[in-house]
Chains A and B, each alone.
Chain A
């Protein structure tokens, strides 16, 4: 029984992080219909940036965290500005291929600097953060993952629901021409969604790095894991991305725990196939509103 609860808690915390990184992916897809294949690499970059800041530059943890957030934000902005803006109006497939290229470039760059080795962050989470209730023992990392994950999800949820800028971003996703006719700065919205997506990816990169350690290959493969998550949740639903993340996270840890660790990366895809058979829009995809 305690093994089950342990797995459940691990699954939920990992799931939150998948949900968080999927949210960034969904945001780019919603505003500009681009599938970002470099998402995992941006996530890994966040983790390594944080590593560099706290070990080489010896910044305090909180400052390192904030600088990583800012750095990822700027990275997303710069990627959009330099690589994607010239392709606005071109066929979508070119843009998607561009992100595949970006992924290779980033991965190569990071391997060049850090190599394929496993790094770990210095131990900075206070021991008191962990939960110890007899049979239920949750290590501090997982508690931190859930707190950070839900905090940022809540923040972005409020941002999109209530802030003007968030509403402009949703309007572009909904009907680009109409948004343009009202003077919404569509290019700025694209840039902002890349920046926010990169920032969110950076956050999940750091936390996944704390849990599993930091390697280029491991972290950038999370980018692929985002696909079953978002397709499960429905490509265009941010709430769905979170639920999808939780489902995939739980599936993974339970398969790893009860069946075999080598199956854990496959089972999410198998589940995906069956769920799509039943619900082709994903669990929370928008069914097109059709009125005639």
Chain B
């Protein structure tokens, strides 16, 4: 059964600097072509989970100490980012990190690093087709672009690498609601048109559960709940704690915050 999974995480623990344990036995799996979203509050370990997949723990002195990460059936935990990216996993970092002193087009060209020397013209056209806003600004230094353009740029840059699995870390962070909607529509199109499998970490649970097929909820370095996106959307706990609805399903008012007595059931 595990054979048709693109990514399988078996019970991993992650420890930073040999002392700080951030993940305590996280397991999840992703099937090809799925959009899987990973929800949870700040510090739950979502970003660390992504970094455990993409190999970016190492520069931060983190390590997968137990368990395994399998991509296409092969173990990749604690491998270097250079090998993992070449296997087809690209992470889009949290907080939009463009190369500020490179132009938009040069930024996109860095995305070809995993297949240096191969032609990339068509891929540039594809990215400009997904993000027409970037076309006009291809010669502008990325540091002078708006937040929305930067987010489009870093997603586009990752697409240049032909990822089989795209890890998106909070693409909605600090963006206006209309831009967020636009970006989520494009993420959905990337998944549909290119067949790229996507793991999406989000605070904006509402948006994330709309485009995801499956979801996981994390708390304190553990997965506390999982299910199909429709099920999660209907789950009373998820509704109250992540979608901002009252227990009865009506929009919650800040006036009621003091009456907050219900405990999260899984704690």
Contact A170 to B56, CB < 8 A, known contacts A182-B85, A182-B111: no
The minimal Cβ–Cβ distance linking A78 to chain B, given in whole angstroms, is 21
Tell whether A171 is near chain B: CB-to-CB under 8 Å: yes
Residues of A near B85 (CB, < 8 A) are 181-183
Residues of A near B106 (CB, < 8 A) are 167, 170-171
Provide the A143-184 mask, 1 if CB < 8 A to any CB of B, else 0. Answer: 000000000000000000000110110110011111111111
Residues of B near A286 (CB, < 8 A) are 101
Report the contact-size class of chain A (Cβ under 8 Å from the partner).
20 to 34
Provide the B81-108 mask, 1 if CB < 8 A to any CB of A, else 0. Answer: 1100110001111000111111000110
Among the listed B97, B102, B107, B161, which residue makes an inter-chain contact with A183, where contact means beta carbons less than 8 Å apart?
Answer: B161
7 A-B interface contacts by CB (under 8 A): A170-B102, A174-B102, A180-B59, A180-B81, A181-B85, A182-B85, A186-B82
Taking a contact as CB atoms under 8 Å apart, the answer to whether A182 and B100 are in contact is: no
Taking a contact as CB atoms under 8 Å apart, the answer to whether A167 and B116 are in contact is: no
Tell whether A289 is near chain B: CB-to-CB under 8 Å: yes
Among the listed A165, A168, A177, A183, which residue makes an inter-chain contact with B86, where contact means beta carbons less than 8 Å apart?
Answer: A183
Report the separation of the CA atoms of residues A192 and B169 in the bound assembly, to the nearest whole angstrom.
31
Taking a contact as CB atoms under 8 Å apart, the answer to whether B143 and A179 are in contact is: no
Tell whether B233 is near chain A: CB-to-CB under 8 Å: no
Taking a contact as CB atoms under 8 Å apart, the answer to whether A181 and B86 are in contact is: no
Q: Which residue of A lies closest to B99 (CB)?
A: A174
Report the separation of the CA atoms of residues A213 and B59 in the bound assembly, to the nearest whole angstrom.
46
Taking a contact as CB atoms under 8 Å apart, the answer to whether B109 and A182 are in contact is: no
Q: Which residue of B lies closest to A161 (CB)?
A: B106
Provide the A182-196 mask, 1 if CB < 8 A to any CB of B, else 0. Answer: 111110000000000
Question: Could you tell me the dominant secondary structure of chain B's interface residues?
Answer: helix
The minimal Cβ–Cβ distance linking B183 to chain A, given in whole angstroms, is 18
Taking a contact as CB atoms under 8 Å apart, the answer to whether B113 and A183 are in contact is: yes
The minimal Cβ–Cβ distance linking A169 to chain B, given in whole angstroms, is 10
Taking a contact as CB atoms under 8 Å apart, the answer to whether A183 and B109 are in contact is: no
Tell whether B46 is near chain A: CB-to-CB under 8 Å: no
Q: Which A residues lie at the B interface, using CB under 8 A?
A: 89, 164-165, 167-168, 170-171, 174-186, 286, 289, 291
Tell whether B239 is near chain A: CB-to-CB under 8 Å: no
Taking a contact as CB atoms under 8 Å apart, the answer to whether A175 and B111 are in contact is: no
Residues of B near A170 (CB, < 8 A) are 99, 101-102, 106
Taking a contact as CB atoms under 8 Å apart, the answer to whether B81 and A289 are in contact is: no
Contact A174 to B161, CB < 8 A, known contacts A181-B81, A291-B143: no
Residues of B near A291 (CB, < 8 A) are 143-144
Taking a contact as CB atoms under 8 Å apart, the answer to whether A289 and B143 are in contact is: yes
Tell whether B49 is near chain A: CB-to-CB under 8 Å: no
The minimal Cβ–Cβ distance linking B101 to chain A, given in whole angstroms, is 5
Query: What 5 A-B pairs are tightest by C-beta distance, nearest first?
Result: A183-B85, A289-B143, A183-B114, A174-B99, A178-B97
Q: Which residue of B lies closest to A188 (CB)?
A: B82
Q: Which B residues lie at the A interface, using CB under 8 A?
A: 54, 56, 59, 81-82, 85-86, 90-93, 97-102, 106-107, 109-114, 116-117, 141, 143-144, 154, 157-158, 161
Residues of B near A176 (CB, < 8 A) are 59
Residues of A near B111 (CB, < 8 A) are 182
Residues of A near B90 (CB, < 8 A) are 181-183
Residues of B near A186 (CB, < 8 A) are 82
Residues of B near A89 (CB, < 8 A) are 59
Report the separation of the CA atoms of residues A289 and B113 in the bound assembly, to the nearest whole angstrom.
25
Taking a contact as CB atoms under 8 Å apart, the answer to whether A181 and B91 are in contact is: yes
Residues of B near A164 (CB, < 8 A) are 109, 112-113, 116-117
Report the separation of the CA atoms of residues A184 and B82 in the bound assembly, to the nearest whole angstrom.
7
Taking a contact as CB atoms under 8 Å apart, the answer to whether B102 and A181 are in contact is: no
B93, B99, B116, B158 — most chain A CB neighbours (10 Å): B99
Contact A289 to B116, CB < 8 A, known contacts A170-B99, A178-B99, A182-B158: no
Among the listed B92, B112, B141, B157, which residue makes an inter-chain contact with A289, where contact means beta carbons less than 8 Å apart?
Answer: B141
Residues of B near A167 (CB, < 8 A) are 102, 106, 109-110
Report the separation of the CA atoms of residues A183 and B92 in the bound assembly, to the nearest whole angstrom.
12
Q: Which residue of A lies closest to B116 (CB)?
A: A164
Report the separation of the CA atoms of residues A286 and B141 in the bound assembly, to the nearest whole angstrom.
13
Among the listed B98, B107, B113, B144, which residue makes an inter-chain contact with A184, where contact means beta carbons less than 8 Å apart?
Answer: B113
Report the separation of the CA atoms of residues A164 and B111 in the bound assembly, to the nearest whole angstrom.
10
Taking a contact as CB atoms under 8 Å apart, the answer to whether B110 and A289 are in contact is: no
Taking a contact as CB atoms under 8 Å apart, the answer to whether A174 and B86 are in contact is: no
The minimal Cβ–Cβ distance linking B156 to chain A, given in whole angstroms, is 12
With A89-B59, A168-B113 known, 11 other A-B pairs at CB within 8 A are: A164-B117, A168-B116, A171-B107, A178-B93, A180-B56, A181-B90, A181-B91, A182-B85, A183-B161, A289-B101, A289-B144
